[in-house]
Chain A
Amino acid sequence: MIIVGYIFALIGIILFEIPTLILNKSWWEMAVFLGLTGFAFLLGLLMILQVNIPNPVYLINKTVEYFFDLVPI
């Protein structure tokens, strides 16, 4: 159910952006748009399906904590 709504939202976004891009013949913009949207869509889909995605914040936490240990305040 959520996935269907999600796909509809995606189609909505694409229909919203593509016509102006085609009219202006900006193909590079279109490629970037489709690439970014595709990536975002994939990420969102994986999150809806509850697949484990590496969390960048853990990395940040670990790094900063490493420095904490290095420099005892």
Chain B
Amino acid sequence: MKLEGGKIPANQLVFLIIGFIYGTVVIINPGRAAGNDAWLAFIVSMLVGLCFAAIYVILAQRFQTKNLLEINDLVFGPYLGKLISLVYLWYFFHLGAIVLRNFGDFLAGIIFPETPISVFLITMVLICASAVRNGIEVIGRTSIILTIITTIILVLTSLLSIPLMDFNNLLPILQTTKLKEFLTTVLISATFPFGETVVFLMIFSTVNNPKKLKLTTLIAFLFGGGLLLIQAIRNIAVLGTLMDIYTYPSYTAVRAVNIFEVITRIEILVVINFLTMGFIKVTVLYYAVSLGTAQLLKLKSYLPVVLPIGILMICLSLLQFESSFENSYFTYTIYPFYALPFQIFLPLLTLLVAIIRGKKGVPG
């Protein structure tokens, strides 16, 4: 029996992936170390990310209607497969908790300094839980509207900040940063938004038309990467070299917008973007964890595990960092190396073993 009966059309997957990629990057800048070359780093890392995604798509298309856990079971056998699945689930779970924590840190630190962080985490998890309980179809549909709203807001804020922009800030190319810093940035941003799409291995199997997966993923990556690029160019052009000293550069960049003293302080739009996109990201991860847990424990439905996992996620996100400084240390220094095994080594290993052992998904 299938745990998830819903099917999403390929065009919803596009929006879902865009929302997921753009997710936390709205606020947190993975290209910090590269300074004004961040935009170039994004382009390179998008290409690297596409290579990652190619592995996922090949894997998904090889095993048609199987999701990640079923693939693991098939390729590695029931016991080792379960262990590897558990490792993946931990990563999705932890990633969800990190995103939640980024949320909480930003909201409690900048927007609502007097409110405890747990209020935001609980509200967010509640709303995500309601989406997760409604199934992938509803998540997909919600993501369409939210992603479109976000894109409009991003373009709008970028247009409004044109008067503040100094495009000379983008230059000189690859002069101020050393190659090592540049490569680090590429690594960070390849793992940070792009590589995290490994979670979609749980969702690819619910897509109506698996043949379209390649095109879908490509479009989504290009579009999502485009959004990142617009945002990076905006931030660099507005803030210049000051960009790396701000924790939340988008917020600071848009904050300065002032059109005829009427349209001022529109940074709240960035916050709204962050909320909606973060919602998509947390929901996708949360959904993957819930579905995976139910699958691992052979439940008939994943609904009963949704709320407990939500509580655990809140607990972990509160527990993991003592302060937002620890958070940013983890995000920029530890996380890329922590994520790499999950994002590239394990999928690649799965693919290789599958090819060697000649395992394939039976269609239907």
Contacts and interface: CB of A to CB of B under 8 A. Distances in A.
A and B in contact, CB less than 8 Å: yes
Interface residues of B, number: 27
A57 B330 contact: yes
B80 interface: no
Contacts of B298: 28
Contacts, number: 75
A36 B309 contact: yes
A60 B97 CA distance: 15
B330 A61 contact: yes
User: Could you tell me the dominant secondary structure of chain A's interface residues?
Assistant: helix
Interface in B199-252: none
A51 B299 CA distance: 33
A70 to B, nearest CB: 11
B330 A37 contact: no
B318 interface: yes
B319 interface: yes
B18 to A, nearest CB: 29
Interface stretch (B8-16, B51-59, B300-308, B348-356): B300-308
A21 B311 CA distance: 20
A64 interface: yes
Contact of A17 (B94, B304, B319, B330): B304
Given A29-B300, A30-B304, 14 more contacts: A17-B303, A28-B300, A37-B311, A40-B308, A44-B311, A47-B318, A53-B319, A55-B320, A57-B320, A57-B330, A60-B334, A61-B330, A64-B334, A67-B337
Interface of A: 13, 16-17, 20-21, 24, 26, 28-30, 32-33, 36-37, 39-41, 43-44, 47, 53, 55-57, 60-61, 64-65, 67-68, 73
